[in-house]
Structure 1
Amino acid sequence: MARKLTDVERMNLDYLREALCQVLEPSQKNKAASVASALVRVRGDVVTDEDIKRIVGKYGKEAQAALTAAVRSEALDPVEGQEGVYTLRVPSQVEGADGAGEKAEGDVAAAGAAAEGEPAPAVVETSETVEEPAATDVTVAEEPAAAASPAPADAAQSADATASEAPAQSEAPARAEKPGRSSAPRIQRGRLRRVGKGSPSHPTQLSEVPYVRRGGPAETEVRAKILELDQRFWMNGWLLSHPGAYTLFERQLTAINDALVNGALPGDITRRQLAYQMGGDEKFFEYGSDGHKLLRAMGMEDVIRHRPMPKPDLLYHAPRRRKHMRVLVTENLDPWLDVHDLMYEEGRTTILGERIHAVVLGGGTPILEHNRLALLLDTLGADSVEVLYWGDVDRAGIDIMVRLRDVLGEHYPFAPFTPAYQLMIDKAMERYPDPADNEQTCQVNLGMPDMSLMCEGLTEEAAAYARSVVEGCRLIPQEILTRRDL
């Protein structure tokens, strides 16, 4: 099994995956996580051409070419003087470069404003340490625009004067600190500078994205990208007036757009299923989340099908009564509705090659209360009922399966819905070769469940992968499968 990643390596993996997704074609984006994982696991401080060939070698020729180009352009920086040798373009390097770029742009903007006699534009909040002359108590933001940008002829003289006065200033006695002011030297405190009332220039959530009426070249470029999307994204004007939202959620927006273009929406895929395919978080569109707010702001809530959780006790569908019945119990709503629709709309009697006569929505732990499932099965009037269970591959999901088998006892033969579990794990292994890259859960307080029941009928490789996922408190959700997979 692959070694566990450190926190820094995991941060680098997430960054590289996002970077690769930005340039890969939609058909190749599902390989970004695997490639990023392999890159951060390369031994030593450098990546070579041989490493790249080994990482992308398991894919087809077309995919190899696309992945190699994306890796070299987005994930690696060449080592000077060494052909075929690279270093990873990790977040710390990129952030440093961005900081320098922002500082340079701020200096140019300040100089231009001073030349025209206008006040210097406000600068985005930053915590970087800025060295200031100790002889003055006026910050840059409070100085007149002309002082912020000296004339070229006086620039050299000003620099020489500052250098010659530095020793005298350092020997001057320290000023008495005002009440409430930090006693730390100004050079260590840094400076907080904000735009207006203070949304950062690089928002991390939707509420921080500012309204932009006109903007500059950068906003114009982003708006051009927005107009390339399906018109339903920008028809109400919100996304065009908030280009920062496109920058923040570009990967998600392009994934939704790809689904629309390919005819997958609405109808064939739900919000949870699409959210998992986009980034591994099946709850991205949950009520109150940024994903949900984004759809509402763009007026696209009805474009992606939403399935509200029904309230009736143990929802089930049985097209007809039989003497001998096989009942499929699903933990979550989306898979239940997929099976229901196939049985009701298409008249299907087999799901993934298994004959199914009824489907029940388990809903998680509540199905275990008061022997509810057994009471429902009794009402079917069959001479014999076999129960197949299908849930998430995580500690809670496996625990529910084992406990439900114990509750039903010997009266109802019980088995996992193996074809679905096998397909779920196969898809997860393709997406995340390292089990530790799957979605993290908060189930550390749950003990490790007995995996023997679920692993019955799985391949050895799939069983080992599933055990690693559950041991690491990770999750393979049911929503990894869609109606098309069934």
Structure 2
Amino acid sequence: MARKMTGRERDDAEALRGILVQELGPADRGYAPGIASALVRLPDGRATAKDVERILGKYKVSANALKKMMRAGVLVPCADEDGAYDVRVPATVADADEAAGEGADGAAGAADVLDAPADAPAPEAADGAGGSREDDAPDATTSDDAADDDTADGAGEAADTTEYPTAEAADGATGTASPTDVQAGADAGEKGAPASPEAAGEAEVTPSPEPVDAPRSGRPARRSGARRREAPRRDLKKVPYVRRGGDADAEARQKIVALDPRFWMNGWLLSHPGAFTMYEHELTAINDVLTDGMLPGDITRRQLAYQMGGDEKFFEYGSDGFRLLRAMGMEDVVRHRPMPKPDLVYHAPRRRKHMRVLVTENLDPYLDVHDLMYEDGRTQILGERVHAVVLGGGTPVLEHNRLSLLLDTLGADTVEVLYWGDVDRAGVDLMMKLRAELGDKYKFSPFSPAYRLMVDRAMERFPDPTDNESTGQANIDVPDMSLVCEGMSAEEADYARAVVEGCGLVPQEILTKRDL
């Protein structure tokens, strides 16, 4: 029977499960929780060849599951052992909080060791220098020897927390010694506890020059490659209520009151300064627009979000941005054009013998083109003559020969299809599939002026193509970019290829109605 997981292991398993659900194929996704649970239980975060064979064989996943887990960065081959892998877990907000708690407790424990008398009993020295995690508590109750081992382990934990410095850890350890002093205090505490032979023996060990590499007795040293942490993901639900807080909270509140009063008028942001720290970039961008009085009301929610923060889904219903605005009472202040349901699948003002039909992947550009044709009577979009616009909606345009049936109803002798979608792996792959679906029945071309303008705007905003929004589409092969790059300069084409190859995204929402 498998042992019960600790709280830390449960958090790691949940983080791994989220990654595996995205990366594994449809037939294997149901096994993601079990695989994640088995990986986090492995000692020292290392999976041997037998461990991998046992775990994957238990769930009978497909042959390429291991390759996908390696590509996702969950399993990283070990350089010092053939067939073995280090398990890497993405960091979460809970990890940052735990690291902060460890930093404060470990520093305080080391300070207690410094103050302890030289003839203090060894068990009390172990208790004073503990500061260990909740997950390590059962190990400290087994025997006196284990308690002595945890003495050195607790001192190592205090030094180890300097690997992950956080603002909360700095606040919690205010007035304590520096990380180097903490390590020195821990060593001094070990030497000052002669009642235990084991502790005396450990005091003779020469410490490493760097505190983070200090040896620990009683447990094997943590491998540097095991369970490396990535940047924490933002989650507004985990931001706590703070009544007073420390220096970091006071500094955040000073920045909050410098914003437009509508941000903090209802008091929510002041009582949750962590929300400002987490979304400072987006809140500052919104404040700048409100202060200048330049907030447009004729663009969609996604277009507004992309112009302000770079993530076009920041203001979507249910997102952190939407919850943040609602909590601050700012829903009505941030104006945007409402998004109606796409009742009209296409718009063709007039039927002609020869028609050029623009198919757009997303709703926002469809509404922009529709308004220009219907309200302004425009027949040219970005210099190209367009007689009808169709909302593709992504993959639904490929189902049941839907687009061909729609084009047949136009009654034209010849139809040329112009396609316009996102510049990412999924968007380009969708365009290639649609061209294959239509075959030779209709002439097919990319809407090159729009693609060129999208890439130009992205180059102005992010000169480095890797700075564009990431999509996590590593499971989609890099598609043929020849159609998208038609009519582009060599520099524009190289930029577009770099974005797609790097799993980046240049969304259609980067262009607004005024650009068309």
After TM superposition, the score normalised by the length of structure 1 is 0.58
User: Which one of the candidate residues 167, 179, 196 is aligned to 1:172?
Assistant: 196
Contact 2:300–2:339 (CA<8 Å) still a contact in 1?
A: no
Partner of 1:232: 262
Partner of 2:336: 305
Partner Cα separation in structure 2 for residue 165 and residue 127 of structure 1: 18
1:253 CA drift (Å): 0.6
The alpha-carbon distance between structure 1 residues 450 and 425, as it changes in their structure 2 partners (threshold 3 A), is same
The alpha-carbon distance between structure 1 residues 355 and 260, as it changes in their structure 2 partners (threshold 3 A), is farther
Question: Is the counterpart of residue 435 in structure 1 residue 426 in structure 2?
Answer: no
Partner of 2:354: 324
Partner of 1:246: 276
The alpha-carbon distance between structure 1 residues 465 and 266, as it changes in their structure 2 partners (threshold 3 A), is closer
The alpha-carbon distance between structure 1 residues 393 and 411, as it changes in their structure 2 partners (threshold 3 A), is same
Question: Is the counterpart of residue 446 in structure 1 residue 470 in structure 2?
Answer: no
Partner of 2:414: 384
Partner Cα separation in structure 1 for residue 355 and residue 302 of structure 2: 30
Partner Cα separation in structure 2 for residue 270 and residue 264 of structure 1: 15
Question: RCO (CA 8 Å, sep 6+): is it higher in 1 or 2?
Answer: 1
Question: Is the counterpart of residue 295 in structure 1 residue 319 in structure 2?
Answer: no
Partner Cα separation in structure 1 for residue 384 and residue 452 of structure 2: 13
Partner of 1:113: none
The letter for the 2-side match of 1:450 is D
The alpha-carbon distance between structure 1 residues 308 and 172, as it changes in their structure 2 partners (threshold 3 A), is same
The letter for the 1-side match of 2:240 is P
Give the aligned CA root-mean-square deviation in angstroms.
Answer: 3.8
Secondary structure, counterpart of 1:455 in structure 2? coil
Partner of 1:87: none
The letter for the 1-side match of 2:321 is G
Secondary structure, counterpart of 1:295 in structure 2? helix
Q: C-alpha deviations, 1:119-151, integer Å up to 9, x for none? A: xxxx96134744353562655999xxxxx99xx
The alpha-carbon distance between structure 1 residues 459 and 204, as it changes in their structure 2 partners (threshold 3 A), is closer
Moved more, 469-478 or 261-270: 261-270
The alpha-carbon distance between structure 1 residues 217 and 461, as it changes in their structure 2 partners (threshold 3 A), is closer
User: Which one of the candidate residues 383, 393, 400 is aligned to 2:423?
Assistant: 393
Partner Cα separation in structure 1 for residue 416 and residue 479 of structure 2: 23
1:368 CA drift (Å): 1.0
Q: C-alpha deviations, 1:141-187, integer Å up to 9, x for none? A: 99xxxxx99xxxxxxxxxxx999986451452459xxxxxxxx7699
Partner Cα separation in structure 2 for residue 270 and residue 170 of structure 1: 72
Contact 2:342–2:363 (CA<8 Å) still a contact in 1?
A: no
Contact 1:436–1:472 (CA<8 Å) still a contact in 2?
A: yes
The alpha-carbon distance between structure 1 residues 451 and 204, as it changes in their structure 2 partners (threshold 3 A), is closer
Secondary structure, counterpart of 1:392 in structure 2? coil
Structure 2, unmatched stretches of 5+, are 1-95, 114-121, 132-172, 175-184, 200-215, 222-231
The alpha-carbon distance between structure 1 residues 126 and 375, as it changes in their structure 2 partners (threshold 3 A), is same
Question: Is the counterpart of residue 125 in structure 1 residue 98 in structure 2?
Answer: no
1:352 CA drift (Å): 1.5
Contact 1:203–1:248 (CA<8 Å) still a contact in 2?
A: no
Contact 1:307–1:334 (CA<8 Å) still a contact in 2?
A: no
Partner Cα separation in structure 2 for residue 432 and residue 275 of structure 1: 16
Q: How many residues are paired up?
A: 328
Partner Cα separation in structure 2 for residue 278 and residue 397 of structure 1: 23
Partner Cα separation in structure 1 for residue 284 and residue 188 of structure 2: 56
Contact 2:348–2:389 (CA<8 Å) still a contact in 1?
A: yes
Partner Cα separation in structure 1 for residue 320 and residue 100 of structure 2: 23
User: Which one of the candidate residues 370, 388, 400 is aligned to 1:358?
Assistant: 388
Partner of 1:402: 432
Q: C-alpha deviations, 1:438-458, integer Å up to 9, x for none? A: 222232232232222222211
Partner Cα separation in structure 2 for residue 423 and residue 304 of structure 1: 26
Secondary structure, counterpart of 1:456 in structure 2? coil
Question: Is the counterpart of residue 281 in structure 1 residue 257 in structure 2?
Answer: no
Secondary structure, counterpart of 2:514 in structure 1? helix
Partner of 1:466: 496
1:377 CA drift (Å): 1.9
Secondary structure, counterpart of 1:389 in structure 2? strand
The letter for the 2-side match of 1:454 is V
Contact 2:356–2:385 (CA<8 Å) still a contact in 1?
A: yes
Partner of 2:143: none
Secondary structure, counterpart of 2:398 in structure 1? helix
Contact 1:309–1:333 (CA<8 Å) still a contact in 2?
A: no
Partner Cα separation in structure 2 for residue 369 and residue 468 of structure 1: 30
Partner Cα separation in structure 1 for residue 376 and residue 257 of structure 2: 38
Partner Cα separation in structure 1 for residue 322 and residue 394 of structure 2: 24
The alpha-carbon distance between structure 1 residues 171 and 207, as it changes in their structure 2 partners (threshold 3 A), is same
Q: C-alpha deviations, 1:335-390, integer Å up to 9, x for none? A: 21222233333333322122222221111111011221121122223343322110
Partner Cα separation in structure 2 for residue 211 and residue 162 of structure 1: 35
After TM superposition, the score normalised by the length of structure 2 is 0.55
Matches within 5 A, 1:109-124: none
Secondary structure, counterpart of 2:193 in structure 1? helix
Matches within 5 A, 1:4-83: none
Moved more, 320-329 or 161-170: 161-170
The alpha-carbon distance between structure 1 residues 386 and 217, as it changes in their structure 2 partners (threshold 3 A), is same
User: Which one of the candidate residues 428, 434, 447 is aligned to 1:417?
Assistant: 447
Contact 1:269–1:482 (CA<8 Å) still a contact in 2?
A: yes
Partner Cα separation in structure 2 for residue 403 and residue 203 of structure 1: 34
The alpha-carbon distance between structure 1 residues 389 and 162, as it changes in their structure 2 partners (threshold 3 A), is closer
Partner Cα separation in structure 2 for residue 214 and residue 162 of structure 1: 32
Q: C-alpha deviations, 1:65-88, integer Å up to 9, x for none? A: xxxxxxxxxxxxxxxxxxxxxxxx
Contact 2:356–2:418 (CA<8 Å) still a contact in 1?
A: yes
1:326 CA drift (Å): 2.1
Residue identity over aligned pairs, in percent, reads 65
The alpha-carbon distance between structure 1 residues 185 and 127, as it changes in their structure 2 partners (threshold 3 A), is farther
Partner Cα separation in structure 2 for residue 467 and residue 416 of structure 1: 16
Partner Cα separation in structure 1 for residue 285 and residue 353 of structure 2: 46
Partner Cα separation in structure 2 for residue 323 and residue 428 of structure 1: 37
1:416 CA drift (Å): 0.7
Secondary structure, counterpart of 2:102 in structure 1? coil
The letter for the 2-side match of 1:269 is I
Partner Cα separation in structure 2 for residue 386 and residue 342 of structure 1: 20
Q: C-alpha deviations, 1:20-57, integer Å up to 9, x for none? A: xxxxxxxxxxxxxxxxxxxxxxxxxxxxxxxxxxxxxx
